[in-house]
Structure 1
């Protein structure tokens, strides 16, 4: 974090500064990393004692002190000997501190903020854009999928006076969440990838999801840029709801940043990228899946808006070895067995895209195996969406289906009821049983997709299979 005095922070947070039992004064400065997990504190760090569903951060202030914390932001005084700022709500205070730091750096430096949202693809697009921009100038981007009311401001607080680009993932599980993050960061560029049924149980349906994702662009000012997916009609409609200049990306002819001649294999995905005023460039991503072409186009569009030539963006993208841990991560290789571990997250759209990729990259005469777990947070839509995936697997001629866990069993039943399979779909209640089956079932040349929501835990099954077939 940038250097601030304790009194500056307390004033901005409308908090009460407690310095009893410490050597600190209101003029004492702090500039260490801001954390909500005491285990991540480093000497000079700032600990935000937020309350959680399972525990209370105030119980860990002592642990933060032991690790060298210089300041604690708390909702009630604690007995530990550390400078404290007392606030009504620690999470709200974290957001306000992030807003303060972004404002300060923007006023004194040359900071550009890029916000990214969408039902799918945020983390992959963030990683792609970070890879491009970090080769241009100092860039700060989220760790993993830090995109909520805690993760996003924590990312913002990592900037310094010399940061040129700040990339912020903006996730939401309800109306108004993205608006709050936009108000904190005030993006110069707002990227919207897709409107789908991820977290539909919290939103209450696709129209509510559209409303929430539109929050990314509706408050941008006229000097900002809204980068929108031309291939998603709901996202494209946001052009009418923003004052910002609009740049469209996609494979549709209406997109100014376009991809043509898309081709996928087990080793990557290729396409020709087109940007107005530049020569087309053929790009080969190491990341699997045609759906990641859309993410790459979004990153290219943002970078182009910032003046990065297409050729440089292309070179940077081709160095990205994987989207993220457990996201279309290619493992294995022994006996020509490919394990695709994509079990960090799953929505109906991302599940469908992963299955299409599995079908597209299979080689003639070789088998495809889909190992699938539940898609979480779908609420009333869960049954129908699991049914739809089961039908899709049959219609795409996936060779084997292995369904794991009771919440995903409807995929197995739907595949069987489709009527064209006889024994190609199996169900297991737990991962160990599924692993034992797969260890005996997989043969040389197989391509195996492991896909589920994070809560289903199949990423660990994917890792076990990857280790089994690693060289």
Structure 2
């Protein structure tokens, strides 16, 4: 973070300094009192289930030089900066820091699915040529984005930030903070349909990213997605499409599935082409890679260098992991989150693999009134993917079981459970050598608990 004193921070935030030395220097910021190391300013954020004001005393005791608060905690003695809203104060500091310290390209990534993977891939290919700062994990909201911006240094040449939303106007607000110069939209799907009411509204919300780009900016859009193509009309920036279709500027051709070994394809650019071998399977990963390569190509990264970088896929826990399972089985652990599009893509991956297919699928949340319909569709997709044993977890996921039976799966091959540990215990008794097991469900379902049960099997 840019070097500041408490007095300078007060001026930036319009804060009132209480019991503090204006000349005291700040070494960073923290929103978690447990992670204060010394020298930071602690921002007392308030959420639905927590209030940082309850931890101001702890943060100061751990070495925070001051706390930014919206109300004065009782019996707390120490430097305090009083502001009307602590989240707005954090965002104001992040916007100031981004404007003062960073002169490179800031790349925003959004979409209904594939955001985190694509963000990681964009950073991966850009690192062939540039010093890159990226969103850690999936800190992609109104708190996580400011924290990412505060990690920028003058040495960074590129920043890659993930942008999520729960409603209209939220990505626009993130763009006002970060001022992106490049925007990537991976796809428009059904995630958050329950909150936004229609796919058109989801497209509007995601499209706020490209609307915010400057005329000299760059919009990188999935040309195979009709909603993304429509969004091209809403930006002043240059538009580059990627995809499998022939009209895309950056295309994948001659795609070859290699089972658990990954996928091979030929990436074709306006000038030149290169063979790419990904260490992960799935057409959706080809598209995520194309988004990264299209961005890198437009920013001057050599295609050969990008292909080399993509061969070392950036893995994250519970996202497209192949793990050894009990009794010589394989686990395709994609349990971090789920929506209909990402679950269908995961089933397509499993369909390509040798061995008996087992799918353990949990509820897909935030789909609104059409949730039963979307779950039944996934059940039909599981049957079409050749799934031999289907376990569902949660009440909504019972509709997955129903859809699978309607599509022809034998009733004695379809089982429903109320929780993931129950499903895991059943699965542990029925695994056979060579089985390929897909774990997928919304974050709140906790599908990783299935894996925890399997890890207890000798």
Same fold (TM over 0.5): yes
Check 1:250–1:344 CA distance in 2 against 1; reply closer, same or farther (3 A cut).
same
Q: Alignment partner of 1:377: what SS?
A: coil
- CA drift of 1:266 comes to 1.5
Does the 8 Å contact 2:110/2:206 carry over to 1? yes
2:324 corresponds to: 332
CA distance in 1, matches of 2:431, 2:388: 11
How many pairs are equivalent? 456
**Structure 1: unaligned runs, 5 residues or longer:** none
CA distance in 1, matches of 2:202, 2:13: 31
5 Å matches for 1:25-104? 25=22, 27-32=23-28, 34-78=29-73, 79-104=75-100
Does the 8 Å contact 1:13/1:93 carry over to 2? yes
- CA drift of 1:221 comes to 1.2
5 Å matches for 1:21-420? 22=20, 24-25=21-22, 27-32=23-28, 34-78=29-73, 79-106=75-102, 110-264=103-257, 265-278=259-272, 280-322=273-315, 324-332=316-324, 336-360=328-352, 362-363=353-354, 366-420=355-409
Does the 8 Å contact 1:332/1:467 carry over to 2? no
Q: Alignment partner of 1:11: what SS?
A: helix
1:10 corresponds to: 10
- CA drift of 1:334 comes to 6.7
CA distance in 2, matches of 1:306, 1:321: 21
Check 1:208–1:420 CA distance in 2 against 1; reply closer, same or farther (3 A cut).
same
Check 1:65–1:72 CA distance in 2 against 1; reply closer, same or farther (3 A cut).
same
CA distance in 2, matches of 1:246, 1:175: 23
Check 1:468–1:299 CA distance in 2 against 1; reply closer, same or farther (3 A cut).
farther
Does the 8 Å contact 1:223/1:244 carry over to 2? yes
CA distance in 2, matches of 1:57, 1:406: 35
Does the 8 Å contact 1:94/1:153 carry over to 2? yes
- CA drift of 1:432 comes to 2.6
Q: Alignment partner of 1:399: what SS?
A: strand
Q: Deviations over 1:93-126 (max 9, x none)?
A: 11111110000013xxx32211101010110011
Higher mean alpha-carbon deviation, 166-175 vs 433-442, is at 433-442
- CA drift of 1:355 comes to 0.9
- CA drift of 1:459 comes to 1.8
Q: Alignment partner of 2:412: what SS?
A: coil
Q: Alignment partner of 1:407: what SS?
A: coil
Q: Alignment partner of 2:275: what SS?
A: strand
**Structure 2: unaligned runs, 5 residues or longer:** none
Check 1:237–1:467 CA distance in 2 against 1; reply closer, same or farther (3 A cut).
farther
Q: Deviations over 1:353-391 (max 9, x none)?
A: 11111112x22xx21011100001112121111111111
Q: Deviations over 1:385-442 (max 9, x none)?
A: 1111111112232111111222311111222233442411111222232222211211
Check 1:155–1:164 CA distance in 2 against 1; reply closer, same or farther (3 A cut).
same
- CA drift of 1:135 comes to 3.9
CA distance in 2, matches of 1:342, 1:467: 20
- CA drift of 1:467 comes to 7.1
CA distance in 2, matches of 1:281, 1:132: 14
Does the 8 Å contact 2:124/2:314 carry over to 1? no
Higher mean alpha-carbon deviation, 231-240 vs 1-10, is at 1-10
Check 1:305–1:57 CA distance in 2 against 1; reply closer, same or farther (3 A cut).
same
Q: Alignment partner of 2:397: what SS?
A: helix
Check 1:321–1:189 CA distance in 2 against 1; reply closer, same or farther (3 A cut).
closer
Q: Alignment partner of 2:91: what SS?
A: helix
CA distance in 2, matches of 1:253, 1:418: 33
Q: Alignment partner of 1:53: what SS?
A: coil
- CA drift of 1:466 comes to 6.0
Check 1:179–1:422 CA distance in 2 against 1; reply closer, same or farther (3 A cut).
same
Q: Deviations over 1:319-354 (max 9, x none)?
A: 1252x2101111006754210111101011111111
Does the 8 Å contact 1:332/1:466 carry over to 2? no
Does the 8 Å contact 1:375/1:453 carry over to 2? yes
Q: Alignment partner of 1:222: what SS?
A: coil
Check 1:333–1:310 CA distance in 2 against 1; reply closer, same or farther (3 A cut).
farther
1:439 corresponds to: 428
